[in-house]
Amino acid sequence: MAAATPSNPASDLLGPADGRLRYRLWVDRVVRWGLPLTFLLVLVPLFDLLYWVSAKALPTFTWATISTNPVGFGGGLWAPITGTFLLITIATAISGGLGILAGMYTAEFAPPPVARLARLAGNLLAGVPAIVVGYFGYFLLVLYTHWGFTTLAGAITLSVFMLPYVYRVCDLSFSSVPRDQREAALAAGATPRQYLLRVAFPIAFPSVLTGVFLAMAIGLGETAPLVLTAGWSNSPSTGLLSTTSYLTGVVYQNYQFPDTLGHLVTLAFQAAFLLVVIVLVLNILVQVIAGRYRRRLQGLFS
């Protein structure tokens, strides 16, 4: 750090008349050392949350917590785990498929006015509150379709919420494929399809993948869209048109129970713990892929 402060030696040369400059340098140094301390304000809540979620969840966390279904005032998390997995798989398939298609098209083919409109819509969609998406799902997929509360309604609602995240990252990934690549492909006589699949897609793919993982992490943690659409089931979902449970729902339904009532609050914390762990793993995956992606791009340019 000392090497990065070239103004320090200068301050030793200042005379008594340079009060103004002395003050300016003093402020600079206070800011230099003081501002990074604000990270404590972020790190303290983060570690406090991680500590308490672990402390409340782990002491009674056994294999049965994962392998059994919720029963009465206790039980385990098997059905919610499978439900979350099912919901996220379907929602990722839908939002991933549509998001990548739309993102690729926006970046590669769409005429500028269309692309502008599409990007605006993507950004606006990302800002729609989860609870509003939930009401959309309730009116359209629960009532209008007469499906009732179903896994499918929950997954589609979730996919609407996840779509813009995949879409925007995908759009960006394809847009950042260097123009040279495209010109080179054209010069070599490639068809647009060949260019897309064999040139652009391999370059953009790792970045697209981070977008998909990001969307999965976001979908995984949502509660409001599912409360209004997915129903609830204490046993693993038996099909797309049956109800399902999910981890965030365990937290939301049980967080208020007094400790005396079975171990529902503990179960809620155990579900919260699993959620945090899965999100952490997804985050690490994103970081790893993003890191490799950066290296690959660097290799491309060097």
If the CB atoms of residues 33 and 89 are measured against other proteins, the closer one turns out to be: 33
For other proteins, the binding residue among 105, 181, 205, 296 (CB under 8 A) is 105
The whole-angstrom distance between residue 209's C-alpha and the CA centroid of its chain comes to 12
Token pair for 287: 């970081």
Is 133 in contact with 155 (CB distance < 8 Å)?
no
Residues 263/264/266/269 CA torsion (nearest 10 deg): 170
Conformation bin of residue 163: beta by default, left when phi > 0, alpha when psi is -120 to 50: alpha
- Distance of closest approach, residue 16 Cβ to other proteins, in angstroms: 20
If the CB atoms of residues 66 and 280 are measured against other proteins, the closer one turns out to be: 280
Nearest CA-CA partner of 203 in 96, 106, 93, 300: 300
Which spans in 128-246 are helix H?
130-137, 151-175, 179-187, 192-194, 201-220, 224-227
For other proteins, the binding residue among 149, 174, 177, 209 (CB under 8 A) is 149
For other proteins, the binding residue among 22, 85, 140, 296 (CB under 8 A) is 140
Hey, which residues between 190 and 219 contact other proteins (CB under 8 A)? 190-194, 197-198, 207, 210-211, 214, 217
Residue 133 engages other proteins in binding (rule: CB under 8 A):
yes
Residue 67 engages other proteins in binding (rule: CB under 8 A):
no
Residue 240 engages other proteins in binding (rule: CB under 8 A):
no
Residue 228 engages other proteins in binding (rule: CB under 8 A):
yes
Residue 164 engages other proteins in binding (rule: CB under 8 A):
yes
